[in-house]
Amino acid sequence: MKNKKWAILVIVALFIVTSTGCFGSKKNDDFSEISKSLAQHSNQLKDELGVTLVGYAADPKENVFKIGIGYDSALTEIRLKQIIEEYLSNSVSTIQGSDWHQRLKPYNLIIERIGDVKTNFPILAHKNERETDLTWVN
């Protein structure tokens, strides 16, 4: 009888550990999938008139995606916002047909201007975890 209780306890503990491990793994898989899609679609930004440089980075430990964009005076602020919105929509929304706002909700997102300086890139827009919209910095 003691062995039977012990066996049941071990099975329950194993089930809990396995379930917890799978849950964390799904989030890592999701992060990797989104990261891959954002990187692959960065050519979309490069093809835009006025865009001079594009960079991309992701850090799963910090739960953040960073998109760097360099541009010249040919790119207006309105058009910049449009192409970032289109880029996010085209790259993230294609994964399981979801809206990028919801798909990126669990993550931080930072849009930086690159090219003018070598470090401490100015932040153009950001989105924190549990938020769905970008906040543009003026």
Higher-pLDDT residue of 125, 100: 125
Is pLDDT at 63 greater than 60 in this prediction?
yes
Per-residue pLDDT averaged across 91-110, rounded?
A: 83
**Average pLDDT over the chain, rounded to an integer:** 82
Written as one string, the DSSP assignment of the chain is: -HHHHHHHHHHHHHHHHHHHHHHHHHHHHHHHHHHHHHHHTHHHHHTSTTEEEEEEEEETTTTEEEEEEEE-TTS-HHHHHHHHHHHHHHHHTTGGG--HHHHTTTSEEEEEE-SS-SSSPPEEEEE-TT--S-EE--
Total-model pTM: 0.77
